[in-house]
Amino acid sequence: MISAGDLRSLPLFGRVVEDELRDLIAVGEEAAFTAGDELWTQGGPAECWWVLLEGRIDLVRTVGHEETLLGAMDAPGRWAGGFRAWDEHAVYLATGRASADGRALRVGSAALKEWTRTRDPFGAHLIEGVFRTQRTVESAARQRDALVALGTLAAGLAHELNNPAAAATRAVDALGSASDRLLETLTGLAGGSVSAAQLVTLDRLRRELDRSPAAAHADPMALADQEDALSDWLADHDVGESWTVAGPLATAGADVDWCERAADVLGPSLEPGLTWVVSTLAVGTLLSEVKEATRRISDLVGAVRTYSQLDRAAVQRTVLAEGLESTLAVLGHQIPAGVTVVRDYSPDTPEVEAIPGELNQVWTNLIGNALDAMAGSGTLRLSTRPERDGVVVEVGDTGTWSDPAAKDRAFEPFFTTKGVGQGTGLGLDISRRIVTGRHGGDIAIDLRPGETVLRVWLPSRYTTARR
């Protein structure tokens, strides 16, 4: 049994009167332990206050699959935990593992709060105020970080949407002129007394050009030579402004043999016939541009919808590669031309049960940090693969850490290696909370030669951390 004398001998309680020590002992209990016992777990609610009386307790922090000894309670009177007496969200920052037999005083956070308030109301109020202020500052910083990120994403999305929207607008404007030109060429064909049979045959020749893949794959030098040959042939056959006709025909895959066949069909109506063909090609090209631009807009909207997980259940079967791709689409404006994105998605990667919207926030933080670290050039590597009873996602970059030793503190709130005003230091902390606290997974930093890798492991079944 713990006595008031046991506590009186500790510097921690040097100025506490005996009656108050007895009250503390009454609301607490003695916790005996042996070497190897785990007394509390990292990330679990800090509901108990531990005061060492005998023995030794190591403070071990786990990051991914690696454990780091942060320190030890190796002298009587050293204490840990109990923070929920003043902060309902407080958790243990490290695991307490006994490395020698001993005993400790264990007091519940509610009892500790009441004992402190009874003994020293002002001190209790001051401690509670400090915790509340810290939580308020952290909340405000998170809200600011979220608003900045939201503004950045909105601006980037607007930029990404503007390009295809502007292209579609230009193509539609040009399409109006091309349509007018097409109608004019039909008038020219009618004036040239082209028969219905000739028009049908010419249209068949035109369709050969529509199906030709040459336009997409032709070598620029070969295309220029083809255009020169067609221009010479058209000039020899008295086609006016041959240079305006030769270019589109060459791009569409026409050659001199095709022109010879067209001349056999059209006879003296060769010029209006070829002008009609070029006009139809122009309309088809512009329609393709409109289709591609609107498809790009649709893809972006779909990516944002996937990223935000609108109208979807919170927990669902999730393909992690889809979340990574939607995040890349949303962050596309932030990826410099000098950064190469390498995808390594294992085909046997299974779906996992997760909250996709929250995981997309994790991918946003990790990819954003990777892009910042590379400073405009390098390789961004995204990979997924099965591991244990779950999936590992890796976000690797060829950037370097200014201080490799800082990786052990990277997941602490407000810790950042960026310059003043360049980061709140909450991105990795938020990611850690989502991965470990919300999904029961783990997250770690792996510094490899030439590459920094953020590893996220997620279980196949959704289980929030229970400690």
Q: Residue 443: beta bridge partners?
A: 456
What's the pLDDT tens digit per position in 208-236?
Answer: 886 444 454 557 788 788 888 888 888 88
In which band, very low, low, confident or very high, does the pLDDT at 11 lie, cut at 50, 70 and 90? confident
Q: What pLDDT is stored for residue 32 in this prediction?
A: 93
Residue 29 has pLDDT above 50, yes or no: yes
Q: What pLDDT is stored for residue 38 in this prediction?
A: 93
What's the pLDDT tens digit per position in 143-183?
Answer: 666 566 566 666 666 766 777 787 788 888 888 888 888 88
Q: List the domains of the chain with CATH numbers.
A: 4-119 (2.60.120.10), 156-299 (no CATH), 314-459 (3.30.565.10)
Most confident of the following: 134-138, 384-388, 427-431: 384-388
Mean pLDDT of all residues belonging to the chain: 79
Task: Kindly state the tokens that stand for 10.
Answer: 């500790």
Q: Give the Å distances, CA to CA, from 400 to 374, 411, 450.
A: 8, 17, 8
**Average of pLDDT values for 244-252?**
81
Residue 127 has pLDDT above 50, yes or no: yes
Per DSSP, 464 falls in state -
Name, in order, each residue with C-beta under 8 angstroms of 228's C-beta and a sequence gap of 6 or more: 246
70, containing H or E segment? strand 66-73
Q: Under DSSP, is residue 48 helix (H, G, I), strand (E, B) or coil? A: strand
Q: What pLDDT is stored for residue 439 in this prediction?
A: 83
Residue 465 has pLDDT above 50, yes or no: no
**pTM of structure:** 0.47
Name, in order, each residue with C-beta under 8 angstroms of 373's C-beta and a sequence gap of 6 or more: 397, 399, 400, 401, 452
Q: What pLDDT is stored for residue 423 in this prediction?
A: 47
Do 286 and 320 contact (CB within 8 A), yes or no?
A: no
Q: What pLDDT is stored for residue 100 in this prediction?
A: 93
What's the pLDDT tens digit per position in 262-319?
Answer: 888 888 888 888 888 888 888 888 888 888 778 777 777 766 666 655 545 578 888 8
Rounded Cα–Cα distance for residues 94 and 67 (Å): 10
What's the pLDDT tens digit per position in 339-376?
Answer: 899 999 999 999 988 888 788 888 888 888 888 888 88
Do 72 and 56 contact (CB within 8 A), yes or no?
A: yes
Q: What pLDDT is stored for residue 106 in this prediction?
A: 93
Q: Under DSSP, is residue 320 helix (H, G, I), strand (E, B) or coil? A: helix
Rounded Cα–Cα distance for residues 153 and 155 (Å): 5
Rounded Cα–Cα distance for residues 407 and 411 (Å): 8
